[in-house]
Amino acid sequence: MNGLKDRIALITGATGLLGSAIARRLGSEGATVAIASRSLSKAERWVDDNKESGKYIPVQLDLSNEQSIADCLKCVLDRAGVPTLLVANASLREGVSLPFEKLIHSSFTNLFAVDIAGHILLARKIVDALDGRPASIVFLSSIYAQVGPDRRIYPQGMSPAPVQYSAVKAAAESATRWLAAQWGSRGVRVNALVPGGVAAPARQPEEFLARYSQKTMLGRMARADEVASAAAFLASDEASYVTGHCLVVDGGLTAW
């Protein structure tokens, strides 16, 4: 894919299902990829396990902490250079399984502190360091920023994405458009990737997989590598005239 070879990319939440797939895709395209995780040892293990498939750098990043954001970027700058690709993939998982009736104020503020505040502050620091170079920023959203969950497809004991998750992903799409307008004149493109459900059979009941698949036009859930391909497109020069856009990758679920 044009424009990824020899680029420096920073991926947050890079050891998770989608983060790993995106990191491997960018690595296979010749980018140097900083693997960011709250746990440095986890990032280091990921890099060690994937060192044959690309050039990766483990870095520690706590998006709820401004000093950690600054330290992470400095580490990338010192070890590789200025990242011109950012995939804002990390999302706070603690507390997302709490029932609606038990949500408290911090259920929202903690999530927004990481997913929105942390990513925007990180992006701003990166843009400030670019010194006029073009860049691409990709936020990870979700179809649940655009539609409500169909509770009928979730078997007993399994809950849909919670309200604070839907809200924070909607905020990511709004921030995408705002930042695209802010930085367009500087050659910085900002887009959002809006994936539907991604198959993870080890942690998804067969009943749910079947019901969800029936809701899509393609009759199945996405593979992580399919979402990664869309992320690579938005990051690459193939999307050089695409900015302020939210690209839905959901097998047609929201297009019925």
**Domains of the chain and any CATH numbers:** 8-255 (3.40.50.720)
**pLDDT, position 97:** 87
* Dihedral, 57, 58, 64, 66 alpha carbons, nearest 10: -60
Give the separation between CA 195 and CA 120, rounded to whole angstroms: 20
Phi-psi category of 187—alpha, beta or left, where left has phi over 0 and alpha has psi -120 to 50?
Answer: left
Is 90 exceeded by the pLDDT of residue 166?
Answer: yes
| Backbone CA torsion sign across 53, 54, 59, 63 | negative
Question: Which range has the worst mean pLDDT, 156-160, 207-211, 244-248?
Answer: 156-160
Residue-wise pLDDT tens digits, 40-51? 999 999 999 999
What is the model's pTM? 0.96
Q: Which amino acid, residue 187?
A: G
Give me the residue label for tokens 């395209």. Answer: 29
Q: Which residues contact 122 (CB under 8 A, 6 or more apart)?
A: 10, 12, 61, 63, 69, 72, 73, 86, 88
Residue-wise pLDDT tens digits, 13-63? 999 999 999 999 999 999 999 999 999 999 999 999 999 989 999 999 999
Is 90 exceeded by the pLDDT of residue 75?
Answer: yes
**pLDDT, position 53:** 86
Residue-wise pLDDT tens digits, 77-133? 999 999 999 999 999 999 888 999 999 999 999 999 999 999 999 999 999 999 999
C-alpha distances (whole Å) from 172 to each of 146, 195, 196, 255 are 11, 13, 15, 21
At residue 212 the predicted structure's pLDDT band, cuts being 50, 70 and 90, is very high
